[in-house]
Chain A
Amino acid sequence: MITAGLVEALAGIVGARHVRTAPAERVTYARDGLPTHRRVPAVVVLPGSREEVIAVVRLLAAHGVPVVPRGAGTGLSGGALADGSAVLLVLTRLNRILGVDPKNRIALVEPGVVNARLSVAAAPHGLYYAPDPSSQTACTLGGNVAENAGGPHCLKYGVTAQHVLALEVVLGDGRVVELGSPGGEPWGPDLVGLFVGSEGNFGIATRIAVRLLPLPRAVRTLLADFTSLRTAGEAVSAVIASGIVPAALEMMDQSCVRAVEDSVYAAGYPRDAAAVLLVELDGGSEAAVTADAETIQSVLREHGARSTRTAADARERERLWQGRKKAFGAMGRLSRDLVVQDAVVPRSTLPDVLETIARIAATYQLTVSNVFHAGDGNLHPNISFDGRVPGLKARVDAASTEIMEACIAVGGTITGEHGVGLDKLRYMPLIFDAESLTAMRAVRRVWDPEERVNPGKVVPVHACREWSGIGTRNAERGTRNPIAPSSSTFPIPTSALAP
């Protein structure tokens, strides 16, 4: 129970200025980057150090009050929302880069450090942090760890999980554990791997050691445009089949291109194209990258590109990328409200799936724009609508579900990088049977036996075990990603994480 005494004690730890109880202040934390979900937290606390985080979590544990960590609130699944029974722990003030070690190419950061700022800090050493979610100028590394964030360049370099070496985590009862080692030599089970992507369900990351990579010596960015969505989808598979691994391979459809071109991030994408592909190649030498770029350019033309062009300089490259990265925000221009889906399909099915999505959009008379990580088959259909129109939201939900079902039907899954959070709870039973869901919950309970950290997210509790409908059918079809039930004595080492 959250009492006045508890609020006072919280203020005693972080200072009264950093405890928010006024309704107006709490309302500003009621949403994340997917504004269709709204929950007003009971109290908002903004700690200024890891010590304060630990003290706050211990205090809340003693009172049996749930806690929800939050970074920048750019998540797209409602993961960082807390309801009136919980305290929202905002980590934006923990924003120090504790150290960059250029020799070993490691950085140690607090969780509130904004993704793009780490690369800026590493640049003088010729290094950068590779995972680049489109939200990188806003989102935090803590949020990236929790969501196992991906980004355009993760096609070649891997998602967040491939770049986190070690973590310091505060568990729900306030105990502090250290996972992994900054040296990157794993021993025992890969607990860092388990924690990354746990959506704030396993604990709160308070320190993160990440790998930095040397900035590529040579880069080419190509823009190709197509007169049909299907050809563009087929060209994606052709590029991958060429054997060259692009650093990034992104696709935008016409509606998305037009929104970007109307915005301050206009990049010069052709407005009349049905779709554009952005392909980046990088490597250690100009000659090799130029040769790759030429090969890819001819592959694209052979597969129906109307025209292709190469960014002339770093400035144009930046412009082409900014357009892509701000596309989600730009689609805000189309209508008052926007929901974005996140699904992964086998790359070869892209042309069919895109057509199916267009058909669903037409059936429900909705504007659906596509911008996505084509190389990974990670789709992001965006539905624009005006939530004030009666009945429209229900139509949007129905179309979303139908799109998701279509993706699952071709062997896809319900999230590529945005996580399950609140928004995708409803889809979990579509791909996991009751037993798998129970197993997931059991794993979670090893870390957080009371389910006190970010409760009610990721695993639809009602669907565990007692829930059998679709789950059984899936089990017969062969469920994807079954997770074996774990024992409840999961070893968590407390080895030292040297700063």
Chain B
Amino acid sequence: MSDRGGFEALDACVHCGFCLQACPTFLATGDEADSPRGRIELMRALESGELAPDDPAVVVHLDRCLGCRGCEPVCPSGVGYGRGIEAARALLATKRRPAPLARAALWALTTPGPSRIAYRLARMLRATGLPGAVAGWGRLRFAMGMLAATRPVRNAEWGVRSPRVTADSARRTPHSALTTVLLFRGCVMDGLFSHVHDATMRTLEVNGYAVREVPGQVCCGALHAHAGLREEARRLARANVAAFGDGDGDEPVVVNSAGCGAMLKEYGHLVDEARFAARVRDVTELLAARGPRPGAPVDVQVAYDPPCHLLHAQRIADEPYRVLAAIPVLRVVSLPDAAQCCGSAGLFTLLEPAMSRAVLAPKLASLRTASPQVVATGNPGCLMQLGAGLAASGLRAAARHPVELLDESYRAAGYYA
């Protein structure tokens, strides 16, 4: 970690502008101050002291950054935008308290005690079916749509047929030697998407991995880091390293949330734990490394929408397609501009609703044209944002994690019999 706290990652910017069209907020407003290049200009001025961290215009335009890092993989000069913006946000945080809504959300979603209650209440509300019924565009109705999108869905519900194959082809795992992997549970994933964790464990086992639970793990700290609360993020990071690091401590850590995975892979920079970071794998990486094993046919049309923190931050592009390709008959339809963010970006959808919806709009327009039955994406925020957006705009499609689809296919194949 350098003494410039991450700002040095911006030095390489030569103002070429190649990142402009990759930036969802620039596309939404056309304003240089909402572009990566413009924000880099602001961040450099922040570092040099030319602009103050409490300058309202600086705050507005840096707050409007999704942190999607769509600007990174297109940058020929190798600018580390993500590290720069986190440094800048930490600097802004020295001059202000995070928005009350952000504080409240962090408290309710990531602190062990309160979050358990919050998630239980949320699941109860979800079970009433009310959130799905009222989902819409207003702030509250959109939030309801997001909650509704966390509900486990079965193929049958959206008219997909997956013929059950005869039970004797069922073999739980063809691999004799199991590789042990440690499951990272996270906060939102654990509270609202435990069915994705179940699917993750089942599909990994079919592919020769023994999934072990790790006690003592906590939230990854991504939401804190994005909010500029670096110290809290570091505290969480150290707790996770301690939890996962015992024993020989070199088993892969499997993550099914792109946002968490990206954060865990950043622990090298954040707390100097490069060895831990190197162990982190997205679930699709592990599955793709084994094929994965083909399942039974599922007759469904799927659009894959890559989470920014998978595609841009972790540079994982092909593996999710390989997972979907293991499902016979399933058809993948392509989305134009799929690499663009959906506007979820952690707490962004709650804190910057106007920009978030503006970024979501073109995504929904291309989904309307492609009209898939399922939108597959491997991140809780994206699942909720897309689910709520689909519901609000009356599109009949479900947002689901790719491993859920593989799980259905394996179940139909009788692998779990």
Residues of A whose CB lies within 8 Å of any CB of B are: 20, 22-25, 27-35, 46, 72-74, 90, 92-93, 95, 112, 114, 116, 135, 137-139, 260, 262-265, 326-333, 336-338
Question: How many Å lie between the Cα of A326 and that of B57 in the bound state?
Answer: 31
CB distance from A82 to the nearest CB of B (A): 13
List the B residue with the shortest CB-CB distance to A88.
B32
CB distance from A22 to the nearest CB of B (A): 4
What are the residues of chain B within 8 A of A329 when measuring CB–CB?
A: 14, 16, 18, 75-77
List the A residue with the shortest CB-CB distance to B35.
A28
Question: How many Å lie between the Cα of A280 and that of B269 in the bound state?
Answer: 43
Q: Which of B37-45, B154-162, B374-382 contacts A (4 or more CB under 8 A)?
A: B37-45
Contact B75 A336 (CB under 8 A): no
CB distance from A134 to the nearest CB of B (A): 9
Contact A327 B17 (CB under 8 A): no
Contact A330 B21 (CB under 8 A): no
A-B pairs, top 5 by smallest CB distance, nearest first, are A332-B77, A329-B76, A332-B14, A92-B30, A28-B38
The contact sample of 29 A-B pairs, CB cut-off 8 A, is A22-B57, A24-B45, A24-B51, A27-B42, A27-B45, A27-B51, A28-B37, A29-B32, A29-B38, A30-B41, A33-B17, A35-B14, A72-B17, A74-B17, A93-B30, A135-B17, A137-B18, A138-B17, A138-B21, A260-B76, A263-B78, A328-B14, A328-B76, A329-B18, A329-B75, A332-B77, A333-B12, A333-B78, A337-B14
Contact A95 B30 (CB under 8 A): yes
**12 new A-B pairs (CB below 8 Å) besides A28-B38, A33-B17, A138-B18?**
A24-B51, A30-B41, A72-B20, A73-B17, A73-B32, A90-B30, A90-B31, A92-B30, A112-B30, A264-B78, A326-B18, A328-B14
Question: How many Å lie between the Cα of A436 and that of B56 in the bound state?
Answer: 49
Q: Which of A32, A73, A135, A337 has the most chain B CB atoms inside 10 A of its CB?
A: A73
What are the residues of chain B within 8 A of A25 when measuring CB–CB?
A: 31, 33, 57, 61
List the A residue with the shortest CB-CB distance to B39.
A28
With A90-B32, A264-B78: A22-B18 Cβ-Cβ less than 8 Å = no
What are the residues of chain B within 8 A of A114 when measuring CB–CB?
A: 21
List the A residue with the shortest CB-CB distance to B30.
A92
List the A residue with the shortest CB-CB distance to B76.
A329
Instruction: Verify if B55 is at the interface (C-beta below 8 Å from A).
Output: yes
For A46, give its contact among B14, B30, B74, B77 (CB under 8 Å).
B30
What are the residues of chain B within 8 A of A30 when measuring CB–CB?
A: 41
Question: How many Å lie between the Cα of A327 and that of B14 in the bound state?
Answer: 12
For A24, give its contact among B13, B14, B57, B73 (CB under 8 Å).
B57
What are the residues of chain B within 8 A of A138 when measuring CB–CB?
A: 16-18, 20-21
List the B residue with the shortest CB-CB distance to A137.
B21
CB distance from A431 to the nearest CB of B (A): 28
What are the residues of chain A within 8 A of B38 when measuring CB–CB?
A: 28-29
List the B residue with the shortest CB-CB distance to A384.
B14
What are the residues of chain A within 8 A of B55 when measuring CB–CB?
A: 22-24
What are the residues of chain A within 8 A of B78 when measuring CB–CB?
A: 262-264, 332-333
Instruction: Verify if B232 is at the interface (C-beta below 8 Å from A).
Output: no
Q: How large is the interface on B (under 10, 10 to 19, 20 to 34, 35 or more residues)?
A: 35 or more
Question: How many Å lie between the Cα of A337 and that of B77 in the bound state?
Answer: 11
Q: Which of B15, B20, B33 has the most chain A CB atoms inside 10 A of its CB?
A: B15
Question: How many Å lie between the Cα of A73 and that of B61 in the bound state?
Answer: 19
For B33, give its contact among A24, A32, A139, A262 (CB under 8 Å).
A24
Question: How many Å lie between the Cα of A212 and that of B76 in the bound state?
Answer: 29
CB distance from A258 to the nearest CB of B (A): 13
For B41, give its contact among A27, A90, A116, A337 (CB under 8 Å).
A27
Contact B77 A330 (CB under 8 A): yes
Question: How many Å lie between the Cα of A329 and that of B51 in the bound state?
Answer: 26
CB distance from B25 to the nearest CB of A (A): 12
Contact B77 A263 (CB under 8 A): yes
Instruction: Verify if B58 is at the interface (C-beta below 8 Å from A).
Output: yes
Interface of B is mostly: loop
Contact A23 B57 (CB under 8 A): yes
Contact A22 B14 (CB under 8 A): no
What are the residues of chain B within 8 A of A29 when measuring CB–CB?
A: 32, 38
Instruction: Verify if B11 is at the interface (C-beta below 8 Å from A).
Output: yes
What are the residues of chain A within 8 A of B32 when measuring CB–CB?
A: 28-29, 73, 90
Question: How many Å lie between the Cα of A280 and that of B18 in the bound state?
Answer: 24
List the B residue with the shortest CB-CB distance to A21.
B57
Question: How many Å lie between the Cα of A35 and that of B40 in the bound state?
Answer: 13
List the B residue with the shortest CB-CB distance to A337.
B14
What are the residues of chain A within 8 A of B41 when measuring CB–CB?
A: 27-28, 30-31
Q: Which of B12, B29, B77 has the most chain A CB atoms inside 10 A of its CB?
A: B77
Question: How many Å lie between the Cα of A27 and that of B51 in the bound state?
Answer: 10
What are the residues of chain B within 8 A of A31 when measuring CB–CB?
A: 15, 41
List the A residue with the shortest CB-CB distance to B20.
A138
CB distance from B200 to the nearest CB of A (A): 30
For B13, give its contact among A137, A260, A263, A332 (CB under 8 Å).
A332
- Chain B, 66-110, CB within 8 A of any chain A CB: 73-79
Contact A265 B31 (CB under 8 A): no
Question: How many Å lie between the Cα of A31 and that of B13 in the bound state?
Answer: 13
Contact B56 A22 (CB under 8 A): yes
Question: How many Å lie between the Cα of A23 and that of B30 in the bound state?
Answer: 18
What are the residues of chain B within 8 A of A326 when measuring CB–CB?
A: 18, 76
Contact A28 B42 (CB under 8 A): yes
For A135, give its contact among B16, B50, B51 (CB under 8 Å).
B16
For B61, give its contact among A24, A33, A263 (CB under 8 Å).
A24
Question: How many Å lie between the Cα of A73 and that of B30 in the bound state?
Answer: 12
What are the residues of chain B within 8 A of A112 when measuring CB–CB?
A: 30
Contact B17 A139 (CB under 8 A): yes
What are the residues of chain A within 8 A of B51 when measuring CB–CB?
A: 23-24, 27
Question: How many Å lie between the Cα of A326 and that of B77 in the bound state?
Answer: 9
Question: How many Å lie between the Cα of A371 and that of B61 in the bound state?
Answer: 35
- Chain B, 204-261, CB within 8 A of any chain A CB: none
Question: How many Å lie between the Cα of A29 and that of B39 in the bound state?
Answer: 11
What are the residues of chain B within 8 A of A74 when measuring CB–CB?
A: 16-17
CB distance from A315 to the nearest CB of B (A): 14
Question: How many Å lie between the Cα of A193 and that of B74 in the bound state?
Answer: 34
CB distance from B335 to the nearest CB of A (A): 14
Question: How many Å lie between the Cα of A328 and that of B39 in the bound state?
Answer: 21
What are the residues of chain B within 8 A of A46 when measuring CB–CB?
A: 29-31
Q: Which of A28, A34, A138 has the most chain B CB atoms inside 10 A of its CB?
A: A28
Question: How many Å lie between the Cα of A90 and that of B56 in the bound state?
Answer: 22
With A28-B42, A29-B32: A35-B77 Cβ-Cβ less than 8 Å = no
List the A residue with the shortest CB-CB distance to B38.
A28
Q: Which of B14, B29, B74 has the most chain A CB atoms inside 10 A of its CB?
A: B14
With A20-B33, A326-B76: A35-B15 Cβ-Cβ less than 8 Å = yes
Contact A24 B42 (CB under 8 A): yes
What are the residues of chain B within 8 A of A92 when measuring CB–CB?
A: 30-31
What are the residues of chain A within 8 A of B11 when measuring CB–CB?
A: 336
For B76, give its contact among A116, A332, A336, A337 (CB under 8 Å).
A332
For B15, give its contact among A32, A93, A333 (CB under 8 Å).
A32
Contact A328 B30 (CB under 8 A): no
With A24-B55, A265-B76: A332-B33 Cβ-Cβ less than 8 Å = no
